[in-house]
Each structure stands twice: as structure tokens, then as C-alpha cells.
């Protein structure tokens, strides 16, 4: 328990997590529960995106592809077979396998080239998957999508809420550990200066592919939860909108900070919910995404670190000033 | 025979439209090292503004001119306010141009509504010629002619004029050009505007070709244009026209024979190029 007591930030995390865990038992609101579940799911997606963008410096415009693979895997397994825990596990396994293979191939093809290529190829591949989902009607039922049943454990909304919350916390801790591991340190070195990392003797390509695979698999898992929360899947999971959501969440929340991705997910989902309500008042709010687009552009130009990153920078600066002052006092 | 001819004509017309989009992308990339993900948005803006002017004034020519002007203006604004602040930072550039794409396509829906707009070719371009038992649709020939004209024009600009010389030198070595006392920033803006104008022209030509335009079409065409840019070689202008024709033809033939695979074949081609020759099929620097 030392790590909680010694670190104020960790203590805050634990308190928030405990609060969220207890929330459904004290405050009963179905809408709130569903919204929060959605936030947890998208937080997983945004964190996986952050691993690429914030920690390794890779831009992907096809993250929806992995998300969609997860969503369709679970949908197809639950629809074709009995909705049991065993088949759920199969679906998870299938998702991990497919996303790992796809992200590996994409990484192998483009990560040795300039960063534009990865962005382009993922974007085009995601488009290909979208077409595939539309055309392969026997399996995906095309544009209309299909509903499916989920294993009993996931039927209860409160249960599902807690499972999603715990998964999000697990992914957060895993990624925290991952980015602080020696491998994660190399990834951050690549982000800062690729040539120098290479000249230090690291096989940059291998590390980048590793990051790409981990991010792809996690995005697939987010897709599984997303489809299960709706108990319905259609081609929208492969659209650019999902990628854009992940991108907005990561950028606005703060790149390279994991927590930023979670905060971003919360902000965007809450805002989406609120602005959809406002759309009844004035039609401009129906196009709520435009506000986020503008905010996003401004953030990229003026606050490239996002909310969390900018806050961190300020506290870091203050601390440095304080320590400088202390030193002066000691010297004086 | 008839069928083959028609498919070829169709493919060439589509190829020319993709070329108009890809040419700007590749020129901008070659000179400024910026891959403009918002280029598809400019294409859609050209289509909407051009078709809107065309339907209000009734003159297709004015519509085309309006679209090109809209492209120039948007290109100037984009270069000045969106791209300039982040020159030199690749990741920020990629991110910001995608954000712009989002804003541009949403703005279309705000101004012209979320529904599709319909567009028909003007009277003198409607219908077709019949030669023997072959039917040649006039509008397709028109698109191919315009595409070739633009290609020749840009080629002339690049190869025979002073400004083209500077652009070509800039592609090779920016710093050296600057050291010789040429304001490369002005050249950047010029090329960006030309590229945007070409994209807008492609958009307005596409309107009557497909009959309907919608806000999502920018993204669809942008993906094809990226494939073309990769196959032709990033920054290679002549490569982009060949690759555009290749992609257009393969698209039209595959769409007829194996429609499920039409996008997949182009993707596969791109993947092969990425593995074997990432600097593009048609030589040039990578």
C-alpha cells in the first residue's frame, strides 16, 4: 500500500476508482450508467491510441479497423453459437489473433518509412474493412448490422458497468507498467529522436511494430466491449468517426499521459450527450462535431500537450521554481 | 469490344478525376513535405461551391471558375493559418490536416445541409456520340480532355517557366533555393493554391459525372488519391498521372468483372509497391 500513501496522484486515482465502483449502488440512473460504460469503453480505445501517438509518435488514421474487428468478432461468435462464456472467450481469442496479425502486417509494411505512410495505409485499410463489412452480407448482414445475445454475466447493466470499469483500470495499469518498462522507455526515445535511438543500437522497427501490435489488440478489446454494450453491431464501427473520436479524446485530453485519454473520453462523451440534447433547441448543435474539430485544431497549434500535459508542465515549472528558491535559501 | 472501349473510357475519366486530386497532393508533398489529409475536403468544397454556382447562374463554365477560385481561397487560408504554424513537425501536420478535413466536411453540411445535391451536365455536354455501334458519352470525353489539359498546363508551368524552375529546385533542396535569395514561403503558398485549385476542379467535374454529391465523397476520393500518390511515388508529378490512370482503369474493370474486389486490388497494388519499391513505381526520389 506504500505506493498509494507516498504518491498523491495515485491516491487520487484510487479514490476516483472507488467512487466510480460504488456509484451504481448509491445513485441509480440507467442513462448515467450507460453513458459511463460508454466512457470506459472509449477510454480503453483512446489509451490504446495514446500508446501509438503519445508514446511512440506514430499516427494511425485507421484505429477504427481494430475496434471494428473486435466488435464483429464478438457479434459473429454470439450470433452463430450459443452466447456462453466459452464462446465469449473464443471471440476474445479471435479478436486478439486477428488484430495482432493485421497490426503486425501494417507495421511491417509502413513503419520503416516516413510517418505519413502508416497514417495513409491504416486509413486505406480501414476503408477496405468497411467495404468488406458492407459486402460480406452472409456474415455481417451488411449495413443493417445485426443484434445478438450476450452471456448471462453481461446482461445486467450494473454488472457490465463494473466489468468495463475494471477492464479500463486493468488496461490503464498494464499500459502504465508497459510504458515505464525498458521497452516503453525505448518507445519514448523513438518519439523524441528516432535517428539517435537507432544509432544507440536499438532496432527501431521492432519496437515500433511491438507498440503497433499492443495498441491494435487493445483497440480490438475496446471494440468487444462496445458491441456488447449495444448488443448490436453494424458497419459504423469501421467508419472514420471512431478513429476521429479516439483522436479527439487523446489530443484534447493530452498525448502521452494515459490519464489524459480517459479524461478526454469523459469530456467528449459527456459533451456529445449534452450537445445532442441541445440539438432540439437549435439545429447547429446537431453538427456538434464541428466545435470539436475547431477546438482540436486550436489545441494542436497552441497546446500540443493537451489538458493533462499542459497542467503537468505548469506544476513541473512551479516545482522547479520552488526547488530553485529552496536552494537559494539554503545557500543564502 | 464495345464493352472494353466503354470500360476504358470510364476508367480514364475516373483516373483523370483522381489525378486532379493526387497531383496537388504529390506536388505539395514534394515541395513542402506536408501530406495534406484535408485535400479530400477541398475536393468536396470545390464540388459543392461549383455546383451551387452552376445551378444558381445556370452556366457550367462560371461554376467551374467559381470552384477553382474557391479552391484557391481555401488553399490560401489553409496554408496561412493551418499549415504554416506547424511547418517542420510531421506529426502535428498530419494531425492538424485531418482536423481540418473534419471541419471542412462538417462545414459543408452546415452550409448546404446534410442531404445529397444533384447535378446534371449542361445541355451541350449531355448525351453521347455514336460511332458505328460504339456509344461515347460526351461528358466522359470532356473530363478526360480537361484532365489532359491540366496535366499539360502544369507540366508546362513546371518545365518551361521561371516559377516552375524554382519549384523543381525547391523539391530537390529547399535550403539551397532559400540561400539563393528566393522567398520559398511565397512559392509554398503558390503551390498550395495550385494544388487546392486542381482538387476543387476535380470536385466540380465529378458532380455531373456521378449525378449526386455528398459531404462524405471527399474522404472516399482522398483514399484513392493516397493510393495513387504512393504508387506513383510521393512527390513525383508525372508518376501521379500514370498511377491515377492505372488506378482508374483497374477500378472500372474490376467494378465490372469482380465488383467485390475493386478497392482491394488497388490496396493490394499499394501494399506491393510499399514492400518492393516504396519510392513509387515510376522512379524518382523516395
Q: Is A226 left (phi over 0), alpha (psi -120 to 50) or beta?
A: alpha
Q: What is the C-alpha to C-alpha distance for residues A130 and A127, in angstroms, rounded to an integer? A: 5
Instruction: Considering only the beta carbons, identify the residue of B94, B109, B264 that sits closest to A115.
Output: B94
Question: Does the residue B193 lie in any domain?
Answer: yes
- Give how far A323 is from chain B: nearest CA, Å: 33
B154 pLDDT band, cuts 50/70/90, is very high
A320, with CB counted inside 10 A (0-12, 13-18, 19+), is exposed
Which H or E run includes B134?
A: strand B134-137
Percent of chain B's residues with pLDDT above 70: 99
B285 pLDDT band, cuts 50/70/90, is very low
- Among chain A residues, the shortest Cα distance to B109 is held by A287
Question: Does the residue B161 lie in any domain?
Answer: yes
Question: Does the residue B28 lie in any domain?
Answer: yes
Question: Does the residue B186 lie in any domain?
Answer: yes
Residues A53, B37: C-beta atoms closer than 8 Å:
no
Residue from A248, A277, A221 nearest A35 by CA? A277
Q: What is the C-alpha to C-alpha distance for residues B7 and B130, in angstroms, rounded to an integer? A: 16
Q: What pLDDT, on a 0 to 100 scale, did the predictor assign at position A284?
A: 67
The 10 Å Cβ neighbour count of residue B269 is: 18
Question: Does the residue B261 lie in any domain?
Answer: no
Q: Where are the domains of chain A?
A: 2-268
- Among chain B residues, the shortest Cα distance to A62 is held by B223
Q: What is the C-alpha to C-alpha distance for residues B73 and B104, in angstroms, rounded to an integer? A: 13
B34 pLDDT band, cuts 50/70/90, is confident
Spatial neighbors of A247 by CB under 8 A, at least 6 apart, are: A49, A53, A63, A296, B95, B98
Residues A300, B270: C-beta atoms closer than 8 Å:
no
pLDDT reading at A95 higher than 60: yes
Q: What pLDDT, on a 0 to 100 scale, did the predictor assign at position A331?
A: 66
- Among chain B residues, the shortest Cα distance to A130 is held by B263
CA dihedral B95, B98, B103, B104 (to 10 degrees): 140
Question: Does the residue B284 lie in any domain?
Answer: no
Higher pLDDT, residue B22 or B126:
B22
Q: What pLDDT, on a 0 to 100 scale, did the predictor assign at position B131?
A: 79
Cα angle B115, B118, B121 (rounded to 5 degrees) comes to 160
Tell me how far CA of residue B47 lies from CA of B37, B50, B63, B178, B255, in angstroms: 17, 5, 9, 36, 24
Q: Given CB atoms, is B221 within the 8 Å cutoff of chain A?
A: no
pLDDT in tens, A29-53: 778 888 899 999 999 999 999 999 8
Q: Given CB atoms, is A107 within the 8 Å cutoff of chain B?
A: no
Question: Does the residue B245 lie in any domain?
Answer: no
CATH architecture of A2-268: Orthogonal Bundle (1.10)
| Residues on chain A touching B258 (C-beta within 8 angstroms) | none
- Among chain B residues, the shortest Cα distance to A125 is held by B267
A233, with CB counted inside 10 A (0-12, 13-18, 19+), is buried
- Give how far A124 is from chain B: nearest CA, Å: 6
Q: What is the 3-state secondary structure (H, E, C) of A84-125?
A: CHHHHHHHHHHHHHHHHHHHHHHHHHHCCCCHHHHHHHHHHH
Tell me how far CA of residue B206 lies from CA of B11, B16, B27, B221, in angstroms: 13, 10, 21, 10
Q: What pLDDT, on a 0 to 100 scale, did the predictor assign at position A6?
A: 64
Give the mean pLDDT of chain B: 87
The 10 Å Cβ neighbour count of residue A214 is: 22
Task: Determine the structural domain holding residue B134 and report its residue range.
Answer: 2-216
| Residues on chain B touching A251 (C-beta within 8 angstroms) | 95
Question: Does the residue B7 lie in any domain?
Answer: yes
Spatial neighbors of A156 by CB under 8 A, at least 6 apart, are: none
Amino acid at each position: 500500500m506504500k505506493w498509494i500513501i507516498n504518491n498523491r496522484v495515485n491516491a487520487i486515482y484510487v479514490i476516483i476508482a472507488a467512487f466510480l465502483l460504488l456509484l451504481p449502488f448509491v445513485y441509480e440512473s440507467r442513462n448515467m450508467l450507460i453513458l459511463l460504460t460508454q466512457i470506459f469503453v472509449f477510454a480503453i480505445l483512446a489509451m490504446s491510441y495514446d500508446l501509438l501517438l503519445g508514446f511512440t509518435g506514430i499516427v494511425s488514421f485507421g484505429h477504427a479497423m481494430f475496434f471494428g474487428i473486435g466488435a464483429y468478432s464478438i457479434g459473429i461468435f454470439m450470433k452463430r453459437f450459443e452466447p456462453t462464456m466459452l464462446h465469449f472467450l473464443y471471440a476474445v481469442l479471435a479478436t486478439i489473433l486477428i488484430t495482432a496479425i493485421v497490426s503486425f502486417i501494417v507495421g511491417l509494411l509502413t513503419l520503416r518509412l516516413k510517418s505519413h505512410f502508416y497514417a495513409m495505409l491504416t486509413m486505406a485499410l480501414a476503408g477496405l474493412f468497411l467495404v468488406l463489412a458492407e459486402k460480406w452480407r452472409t456474415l455481417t448482414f451488411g449495413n443493417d448490422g445485426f443484434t445478438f445475445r450476450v452471456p448471462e454475466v453481461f446482461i445486467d447493466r450494473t454488472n457490465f458497468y463494473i466489468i468495463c470499469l475494471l477492464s479500463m483500470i486493468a488496461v490503464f495499469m498494464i499500459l502504465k507498467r508497459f510504458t515505464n518498462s525498458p521497452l516503453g522507455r525505448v518507445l519514448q526515445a523513438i518519439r523524441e529522436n528516432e535517428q539517435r535511438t537507432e544509432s544507440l543500437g536499438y532496432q527501431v522497427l521492432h519496437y515500433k511494430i511491438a507498440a503497433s501490435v499492443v495498441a491494435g489488440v487493445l483497440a480490438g478489446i475496446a471494440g468487444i466491449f462496445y458491441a456488447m454494450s449495444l448488443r448490436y453491431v453494424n458497419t459504423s464501427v469501421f467508419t472514420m468517426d471512431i478513429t476521429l473520436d479516439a483522436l479527439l479524446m487523446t489530443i484534447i485530453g493530452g498525448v502521452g499521459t494515459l490519464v489524459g485519454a480517459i479524461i478526454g473520453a469523459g469530456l467528449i462523451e459527456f459533451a456529445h450527450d449534452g450537445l445532442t440534447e441541445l440539438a432540439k433547441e437549435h439545429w447547429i448543435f446537431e453538427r456538434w462535431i464541428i466545435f470539436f474539430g475547431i477546438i482540436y485544431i486550436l489545441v494542436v497549434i497552441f497546446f500540443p500537450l493537451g489538458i493533462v500535459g499542459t497542467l503537468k508542465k505548469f506544476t513541473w515549472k512551479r516545482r522547479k521554481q520552488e526547488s530553485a528558491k529552496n536552494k537559494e535559501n539554503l545557500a543564502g | 469490344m464495345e464493352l472494353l472501349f466503354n470500360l476504358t473510357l470510364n476508367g480514364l475519366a475516373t483516373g483523370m478525376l483522381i489525378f486532379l486530386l493526387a497531383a496537388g497532393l504529390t506536388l505539395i508533398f514534394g515541395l513542402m513535405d506536408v501530406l495534406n489529409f484535408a485535400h479530400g475536403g477541398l475536393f468536396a468544397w470545390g464540388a459543392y461551391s461549383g455546383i451551387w454556382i452552376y445551378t444558381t447562374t445556370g452556366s457550367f463554365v462560371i461554376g467551374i471558375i467559381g470552384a477553382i477560385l474557391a479552391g484557391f481561397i481555401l488553399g490560401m487560408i489553409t496554408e496561412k493559418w493551418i499549415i504554416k504554424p506547424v511547418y517542420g513537425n510531421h506529426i502535428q501536420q498530419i494531425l492538424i490536416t485531418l482536423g481540418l478535413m473534419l471541419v471542412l466536411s462538417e462545414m459543408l453540411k452546415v452550409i448546404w445541409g446534410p442531404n445529397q445535391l444533384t447535378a446534371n451536365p449542361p445541355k451541350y455536354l449531355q448525351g453521347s456520340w455514336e460511332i458505328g455501334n460504339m456509344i461515347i458519352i460526351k461528358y466522359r470525353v470532356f473530363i478526360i480532355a480537361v484532365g489532359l489539359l491540366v496535366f499539360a498546363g502544369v507540366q508546362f508551368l513546371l518545365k518551361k517557366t521561371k516559377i516552375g524552375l524554382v519549384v523543381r529546385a525547391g523539391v530537390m533542396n529547399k535550403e539551397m533555393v532559400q540561400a539563393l535569395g528566393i522567398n520559398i514561403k511565397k512559392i509554398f503558398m503558390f503551390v498550395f493554391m495550385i494544388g487546392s485549385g486542381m482538387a476543387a476542379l476535380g470536385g466540380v467535374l465529378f458532380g455531373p459525372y456521378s449525378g449526386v454529391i455528398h459531404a462524405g465523397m471527399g474522404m472516399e476520393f482522398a483514399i484513392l488519391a493516397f493510393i495513387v500518390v504512393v504508387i506513383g511515388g510521393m512527390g513525383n508529378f508525372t508518376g501521379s498521372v500514370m498511377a491515377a490512370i492505372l488506378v482508374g482503369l483497374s477500378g472500372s474493370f474490376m467494378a465490372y468483372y469482380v465488383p467485390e474486389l475493386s478497392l482491394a486490388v488497388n490496396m493490394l497494388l499499394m501494399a506491393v509497391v510499399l514492400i518492393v519499391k516504396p519510392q513509387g513505381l515510376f522512379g524518382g526520389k523516395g
